[in-house]
Every structure is written in structure tokens, then in C-alpha cells.
Amino acid sequence: MSRVPAGSFGGGSPHLGTATVRAMRTLMRPLFDGATYRSWAYAFLGAALSVPPLVVAVLSAPPTWPLPGRIAGFTLALVVVLAVMGSLRAARRGCVTLANRLLGTELPAPAAVSARSRWADRVRTAAWLVPHAAVGVAATAVTGVLAFAAVTFPAVWLNGGGRVAVLGSHVTVTAGVAGAWSPAVAALCLLLAAYLTAVAAAGLRLLAPVLLDHRPAERAAAAEERARVLAGRNRLAQELHDSIGHTLTASTIQAAVASELLERDPVAARRALNTIEETARAAMDDLDHVLGALREQQAPTSPARTLADLGALAESVRQAGASLEVTTEGGLDRVPATVSREAYRIVQEGLTNALRHGAKAGITLRVTARDDLLEVELVNLVGGAARFRRGGRPRQGLTGIADRVRLLNGEVSAGPVEDAGDGRARWRLVARLPLGAAR
């Protein structure tokens, strides 16, 4: 005698019941999906958006006019008002923002384009307002009627029955068990409203990229903006590297000097510690500036060190125990601000490399300003343990210097120089920056 599986009699298969429950959940999902209500809110905004142009269009077509004139006046007024609404500066950005947040699109923010392209975008924005308003009015009206019916039928049934007017006819709702179909009709109305909202949102979602997405001109402008932002961030990273690198190198050397002088010369040791404090504060200013810019916020400080600050930079190097001789020629105060800032960073990075990789003695810096050229020359002795790296990968500091010089259409050279007769190896950095192009 074969054994009959449980559930084969009476209640049916449990798998069939599970599938039915899953199907019901899938069917009812739009009612409990937040995207449905966001889409309805977007449709309602479209309906609200249609009020001003419709009011103006109705007022522009008085009933006393003949029918052709009323149609022409209504249409012309509607087009003009929509065109004005679409031409507002914030209209396109607002349409894109609302579509992304409520409709679920992923449209890019409008980019700055030429005046000719801007007018084309205004036309496309005005064209978008038409389906948004039309679909919004239709979806809001139909879902409103369905929601009203979903509330009315159960309410009449619970209050003893009665007649309900539906689209020009009447439906009788019977009290008691005979009218128990009312809650099912109410649920069906709500479900139908949810699906109609989803269909309306899907149609607008398909149309949105056609009228609100970037055109070729906007794509090019957006690409240029991204490149500019990336270049600015790379520039800030390089400035941070230069400033913090110089501070850490100088502070390490000064700390070692202070440790050696702590017992036999407390005054000199205290002076070295004070220098560490000053350079650390300057580095913190640079750090605050860079981090503030990277966070797209207003930076607490905005350091703009130029060649006028060479004295303080040279003093911090001397406080680190290095022997530095500085010579300036020409009017450095007449150097354009952009060139002056970049030249200061070049000198700062060059001195940092000299302290880090060279000997502390025999560092010479010469800055010469002529009518059309600024020349920076830095020579330092190379320590006994150091070795020149020919053909190797350049250090990040030298790469940053080369980038700054290239940005100003200048020339740079760095490498070992011939023996000056004293048997000591030297490293020479020369940067030449044109002044005419920067003015």
C-alpha cells in the first residue's frame, strides 16, 4: 500500500499555496513601494505646474470669440506661457533635480554652455513641461477618482448601503453580506491607481533623457568641467605635498639639532623648537586651505605665499642647521602674482630636496627677475652617502616642479654639475619662467 503525501487531500498542495501567496505579494507590491508614491508626487507637481498656463490660456480665449479664434488664442497663450516657464534660468536644473529625486532617473546636472546652446536647452525644457503637465493632470485626475471610489464604496456599505454615482450611472451597494464585495472593489481601485501611476512614471522616465539629458555641447562642457576640477584637485595635492614635505623635513632636522643642543646650549635648542612650532603652524594653514577646497567649502585660511616670503623660508632652512646663501636680482615685486606663487613653491620644494637628499652646507639660491624672464637657480652639495640616479624614475618633488614650470610654459633642468675643483659633488636645479605670458 503506497503512502499518500500529506496535504494531498482537502487542503491541496502546500507548494501551490506558497506560489499563490508569492503571486499576491508581487501583485500588491506597487501599493507598498515608495517609488509609487514618489512617482505620484511627481505627477501631482506636473498637474500643479499646468495651472498657471491653463489659467492664462483660458483668460486669453473669452467665450464671446468665435470657436476658431478661441482655439487659436488658447493654444497661443499656452505655448507662450510654457516657453516663458522653460526659459527661466533655474527651470532646467529644477526639472532635472525633481526627475532624479522623484522619478528615479539618473540625469546629469546641466552644464554651462554657450548662449546658442542655452536657448536650445530652454526650448527642450519647455517641451518637457508639456508631457509632464499633461501626464500629471491625467494621472492625478484618474488616481484621484479611483482613490475616492476606494473610500466611498466601503463607507457606504458600512453605513447601511445606498447608491453611488459612477461615471453618470449609479451602483447600488447592499448592506450586510450581500455588499461584502465593496472592500474587494476598494482594494482593486487602489491597486489600479498604483499601476496607472507606475505606467505614467515609466513613460516620463523614458522621455526624460530625450529632453533633459546632455546634448553634445553639454557633454563637452561637462567633460571640460570635470577635467578642470581634476586638475584643480591635483594642483591642491601637489601644493599639500610641497608644504607638508618641506615642514616635515625641516622639523625633523630641527628636532635633531634641538636634541643635540639641549644640554650644552638651551637657548639655541629653544630657538629650534620655536622654529618647529612656526613651520608647523604654517603647514596647518596650508592643510586647512587644501582640505577646505577639497570639501568644496570656504577655506578658513587662504595662504598665497610669493617670492616676498623668501626671507621667512630661508630662515626656516637656516634654523634647520643648513648653510644657505640667497641672492636676488631685479624687481621681484613686479613679478606677476601667478608666477611669484609658483616660483615660491619651486624654491620651497628645491630646498626641501636639498635638506632631504643633500648636505646641509653650501646651499646657494639665486633668483633673478628680468623684463621677460624669471630664473631660479638652486645649487647644493650632495652628501657622501648620496648617489646620483641617472635614468631612474624622478622623485615626486622634481615631478611637481616640472609640472609647475610646464604650466607656465617655462623650462626646467635638474641634475649633477661638473666638479668645481674642490672634489665635492653638487646638484643644480634651474627653472626659467616667462613673465610676458603671465601678465
**pLDDT value at residue 218:** 67
Q: Assess contact for 286 and 240: CB atoms under 8 A.
A: yes
Cα 305 from Cα 313, distance rounded (Å): 10
* pLDDT bracket for residue 205 (50, 70, 90): very high
Choose between 258 and 209: higher pLDDT. Answer: 209
Cα 189 from Cα 197, distance rounded (Å): 12
* pLDDT bracket for residue 6 (50, 70, 90): very low
- Confidence check: pLDDT of 114 > 70: no
Which class is domain 307-439? alpha beta
**pLDDT value at residue 18:** 80
**Lowest pLDDT segment from 110-124, 159-173, 179-193, 278-292:** 278-292
* pLDDT bracket for residue 14 (50, 70, 90): low
- Confidence check: pLDDT of 8 > 60: no
Which class is domain 233-303? mainly alpha
- What residues are paired with 417 via a beta bridge? 426
- What residues are paired with 413 via a beta bridge? 430
Q: Is the dihedral of CA 121, 125, 131, 132 positive or negative?
A: positive
Q: What is the mean pLDDT of residues 294-310?
A: 64
Q: Where are the domains of the chain?
A: 18-214, 233-303, 307-439
Closest CA to 180 of 154, 155, 206: 154
Q: What tens digit of pLDDT does each residue of 311-369 get?
A: 888 888 888 778 889 999 988 888 887 788 888 989 988 888 888 877 778 899 999 99
Q: What tens digit of pLDDT does each residue of 142-163 get?
A: 999 999 989 998 898 888 888 8
Q: What is the mean pLDDT of residues 62-83?
A: 88
Rounded (to 5) percent helix, strand, coil in the chain: 65, 10, 25
Q: What tens digit of pLDDT does each residue of 222-274 get?
A: 667 667 666 666 666 666 666 666 666 777 777 777 777 777 777 777 777 77
**pLDDT value at residue 378:** 93
* pLDDT bracket for residue 168 (50, 70, 90): confident
